[in-house]
Amino acid sequence: MPHDEHPGGWSVAFRALYRALGWVDPLLRAWWRRFGLGNVVLVTTTGRRTARPREVLLGLLTTDGRWYLGHPDGSAAWTLNVDAAAGRLLVRWPGLEAAPYVARLLPVGPERERAILATWQHPFPGDLLYRAARRHVLAVGRYYRLERDEAVA
């Protein structure tokens, strides 16, 4: 669901957090490249409008031996790009080559809930915000399970 469909308090808080992260993004990327940053990976998608590569730092969630990515407040630019690219994306850890994955959108259900409950793995302050907004995230969050893209690998 697009952000505009959820104008409530938690949507405002998440927008503020992501705006602040946008301001410090160059510093975060430099730190990530040199030292890593918790569970953060660099995800590359194809722009749905430009067809050019688009990169975003995201927290990789791990639960039950599977990997997940998600956005707590419905759709975001990167989720729209993933959807337009049939789930195909590249995931890169600091100092390693990017690896091809397919992101499978999770329907409402137990697997999606487990992925959302794993958001405690995010670095501060995201972990606290996600925990405080858990009901909102469960209601509107957009989460994906990552699987190796065997067609490319």
Bridge partner residues of 119 (DSSP): none
**What CATH number is attached to the domain comprising 132?**
2.30.110.10
Residue 151 domain flag: no
Total Cβ atoms within 10 A of residue 115: 23
Residue 153 domain flag: no
Residue 121 domain flag: yes
Q: Which pLDDT does position 123 carry in this prediction? A: 65
Residues of the chain above pLDDT 90, percent: 48
Query: How many domains does the chain fold into?
Result: 1
25-34, 111-120, 126-135: range with highest mean pLDDT? 111-120
Residue-wise pLDDT tens digits, 72-83: 888 889 999 999
Q: Which pLDDT does position 153 carry in this prediction? A: 56
State mean pLDDT over 89-117.
Answer: 94
Tell me the C-alpha distance between 72 and 84, whole Å.
19
Q: How confident is the model at residue 97 (pLDDT cuts 50, 70, 90)?
A: very high
Q: Rounded to 5 degrees, what are φ and ψ at 7? A: -80, 10
Give the strands of the sheet with 142-148, arranged side by side: 53-59, 40-46, 88-92, 99-105, 142-148, 66-71, 61-63
Residue 152 domain flag: no
- Residues with Cβ within 8 Å of 22's Cβ and at least 6 positions away in sequence, in order, are none
With beta carbons less than 8 A apart as the criterion, state whether 48 and 77 touch.
Answer: no
Q: How confident is the model at residue 125 (pLDDT cuts 50, 70, 90)?
A: low
Residue 140 domain flag: yes
Tell me the C-alpha distance between 141 and 1, whole Å.
8
Residue-wise pLDDT tens digits, 41-65: 999 999 999 999 999 999 899 999 9
State mean pLDDT over 122-136.
Answer: 75
Residue 28 domain flag: yes
Tell me the C-alpha distance between 128 and 3, whole Å.
21
Residue 86 domain flag: yes
Residue 13 domain flag: yes
With beta carbons less than 8 A apart as the criterion, state whether 104 and 145 touch.
Answer: yes
Residue with tokens 């697009």: 2
pLDDT at 135 over 90: no
What is the domain extent for residue 77?
3-146
